[in-house]
Amino acid sequence: MNKNNYCNKYVFIIPNNCFLEKIITTSFMSFFLKGRMSPIRIPKSHSGSFTGKFPSQKMNRMIHYESSIEKDFIHLLEFEESVTWYEEQPLRIEYMENKKKHYYIPDFSAVVDGKTWIFECKPKKLVGVQKNLIKFEEAEKYCLNTGENFRVVTDEEIRTGYKLRNIKFLTGYSRGEINPVLVSRILSFFGNTDNACLHDFEKSEKNFSPKEIYPTIFFLIYHHKLSFQVDEELLSKKTVAHLVI
């Protein structure tokens, strides 16, 4: 079995022309989409483990994780507009091996561009381990029966480039109150100015300080009102931003 078969089926793409009118973060919407509101199994911390909870705005609840890769992947699931729903530890797959019953619980399930995907987060060095390949094969069988899709996500894949670093930074500015007057001025500026960088707006703005300007810009980028080449450069004052229409 080729371990690469499980790692090349889906690549997240940030839509360039999508204007987010409303952020829906209700438990009702989570229930409406999939009918489940809690994971099959709650990860338990133990000595040497990396477990915790992520406060999801998209799902309006705490999302459990039990590895640094899972936590990083949650950042991507939260940020991507193409992801409308996701859940950790979503289901239990039962299978037989050597005449013994085994269970496999994938890390995440998500609705991406209207299709349901089951994701497993693994260090790349462990993808080819035989016991993992058996689990992946069972997940493929399960998805063939349900019409879903299976994908292994590796640490190397999601940590390559600047995308994850940028999203983690922007996440820190994704909540809180924003000044509607400043928002209107920012959107108007970038909507009417070609190839303008963040510092260009700062220089043009006389009524608000940089301490007010940049957190608001970062908020607007995180919520897809403004865009930049998130995977190709580290966000800075010199970053060129565009209005998302």
Q: Where are the domains of the chain?
A: 3-159, 164-243
pLDDT per position as a tens digit, 132-170: 999 999 999 999 999 999 999 999 999 999 999 999 999
Whole-number pLDDT of residue 19: 30
Whole-number pLDDT of residue 49: 65
Whole-number pLDDT of residue 50: 83
C-alpha to C-alpha distance for 27 and 37, rounded to whole angstroms: 7
Q: What percent of the chain has pLDDT over 70?
A: 80
| 174 pLDDT above the threshold of 70 | yes
Whole-number pLDDT of residue 26: 30
Name the band, by pLDDT with cuts 50, 70 and 90, for residue 197. Answer: very high
**136: which 2 tokens?**
């992946």
Query: Beta partners for 25?
Result: none
Name the band, by pLDDT with cuts 50, 70 and 90, for residue 38. Answer: low
C-alpha to C-alpha distance for 5 and 2, rounded to whole angstroms: 6
Name the band, by pLDDT with cuts 50, 70 and 90, for residue 15. Answer: very low
The helix, strand and coil proportions of the chain, stated in percent and rounded to the nearest 5, come to 35, 20, 40
Angle among Cα 157, 215, 207 to the nearest 5 degrees reads: 150
Whole-number pLDDT of residue 20: 29
| 99 pLDDT above the threshold of 80 | yes
Alpha-carbon distances, residue 101 vs 94, 95, 97, 138, 162 (angstroms): 7, 6, 7, 13, 42
3-159 CATH: 3.40.1350.10
The phi, psi pair for 171, rounded to 5°, reads -55, -35
Number of alpha carbons in the 13 Å side-chain half-sphere of residue 199: 5
C-alpha to C-alpha distance for 113 and 233, rounded to whole angstroms: 26
**234: which 2 tokens?**
């580290």
Measured in residues, the chain has a length of 245
Q: What is the mean pLDDT of the chain?
A: 86
